[in-house]
Copies of this chain bind each other. A is one copy, B any other.
């Protein structure tokens, strides 16, 4: 508003009497530029651009973010539902994962030679365990080439699998073992299944 910045009558105002009006000005210009850059970036990211207005951009951004959050929630719900279905669709009811009676010392052995992986499991059986085990193996990229399954009393499976070379570098035999343990309802902690202990 100051028509005359020097304000002759006022005392300690800015002494911009000399020719440097450009210190604060440049800073303000840079700030404005940064803000506009951010705004244009936002506008480039958000697909729903109703208008080019600053306020509209911010509003659309908010709407888009809420939409994204909702989609994430839906996806996660479906994910959980799907996994539940996976675990219980085969057999009708879901056995609670807690309270698992270890009748015998469970056995989870994973050995690997070249691209061939031999897996031997013997543990307490429960509904759907065979299915989930096969699912787990496939999810790990292990293609079952030959296997013998026995479910009379405990659940026992001996499988020879071939695995994709790409995943071979990533997957450790311990990883496979842990995955199988978790799948079978055991804690997934190797300490709870002593490897060298007299298993079964």
Give chain A's interface residues, CB within 8 Å of chain B.
3-5, 31, 34-35, 38-39, 41-42, 45-46, 54-55, 58-59, 61-62, 64-66, 68-69, 71-72, 75-76, 78-79, 81-83, 85-86, 89-91, 127-128, 130-131, 134-135, 138-139, 143-152
Contact = CB atoms under 8 A, between A and B. Distances in A.
What DSSP secondary structure best describes chain A's contact surface?
helix
B78 A79 contact: yes
Given A138-B91, A138-B128, A148-B148, A38 B62 contact: yes
A90 B38 contact: no
Lowest 6 CB-CB distances: which A-B pairs, in order?
A38-B58, A90-B138, A75-B75, A68-B68, A147-B149, A82-B82
A61 to B, nearest CB: 7
A145 B149 CA distance: 8
A85 B75 contact: no
Contacts of A81: 139
B62 A41 contact: yes
